[in-house]
């Protein structure tokens, strides 16, 4: 079974993607870096626009990067580069 990057990040794990160590970092807004994963491998993208539901939850995330497509909010998670302390104190998942 292939490990899904989003699941690892939601569990609080550090994700190593293309040599960059990433950790989850709150709610996505325009300009944020995020991981998106649906049927293909994980994509590291920048949010151009984020549409929200009437309840305020993330509905669709539209990327700056072309030719990447828009993802459902449930397929995305905001990330930032992990500190050395976070890397040494958490499980690291390599993708």
Residue 28 belongs to a domain with what CATH number?
Answer: 2.30.30
- The answer to whether residue 64 is domain-embedded is yes
Quick check: is 16 in a domain? Answer: yes
What average pLDDT values come out for the chain (95 residues) when binned by 10 residues? 79 94 96 91 93 93 86 95 96 90
Biggest CA–CA distance in the chain, Å, is 39
Total number of domains in the chain: 1
What's residue 3's pLDDT? 62
pTM of the model: 0.90
Joined tokens for residue 39: 């049927």
Q: What is the pLDDT of residue 1?
A: 40
Whole domain around residue 66: which residue ranges?
5-90
Assess if residue 95 is contained within a domain.
no
Answer for the pair 16, 95: CB distance below 8 angstroms, yes or no.
yes
32 lies in a domain?
yes
């Amino acid at each position: 079974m292939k490990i899904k990057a989003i699941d690892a990040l939601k569990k609080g794990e550090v994700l190593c993607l293309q040599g960059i160590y990433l950790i989850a970092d709150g709610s996505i807004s325009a300009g944020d870096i995020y991981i998106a994963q649906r049927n293909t491998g994980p994509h590291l993208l920048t949010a151009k626009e984020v549409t929200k539901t009437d309840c305020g939850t993330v509905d669709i995330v539209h990327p700056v990067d072309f030719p990447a497509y828009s993802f459902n909010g449930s397929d995305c998670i905001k990330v930032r580069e992990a500190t050395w302390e976070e890397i040494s104190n958490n499980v690291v998942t390599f993708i």
